[in-house]
Amino acid sequence: MPNPKRRHSQQRSAKRRTHYKADAPTLSVDGTTGETHVRHRAHVNEGKLYYKGKVVAEKAPLKA
């Protein structure tokens, strides 16, 4: 299998990498709480963990 005789120049590598860029995350508004959150991720609101508009977990009260 052929291999390159010399390494590629830094400029050539940089040209290839110019198309890589960070995308802004997609945000949604939860219909239950009205809170804006990242899509397909659970989010916390008032001590409760929500996913797909349903409560998944609640924060346990602290014992004194």
Q: What is the pLDDT of residues 6-63, one digit of tens each?
A: 888 888 888 887 777 778 889 999 888 899 999 999 999 998 999 988 999 998 777 7
Strand stretches in 1-64, DSSP E: 27-29, 36-38, 43-45, 48-51, 54-58
pLDDT at position 57, please?
92
Q: Classify residue 44: in a domain, yes or no.
A: yes
Q: Which of 36, 13, 10, 38 is nearest to 24 (CA)?
A: 38
CA distance 57 to 1: 55
Number of structural domains (the chain) is 1
> Amino acid identity, residue 16?
R
pLDDT at position 13, please?
80
C-beta neighbour count of 50 within 10 angstroms: 19
Q: Classify residue 32: in a domain, yes or no.
A: yes
Segments forming the whole domain that contains residue 33: 25-56
Q: Classify residue 36: in a domain, yes or no.
A: yes
pLDDT at position 41, please?
93
pLDDT at position 59, please?
82
pTM higher than the cut 0.85: no
**């860029």: which residue's tokens?**
21
Q: Classify residue 46: in a domain, yes or no.
A: yes
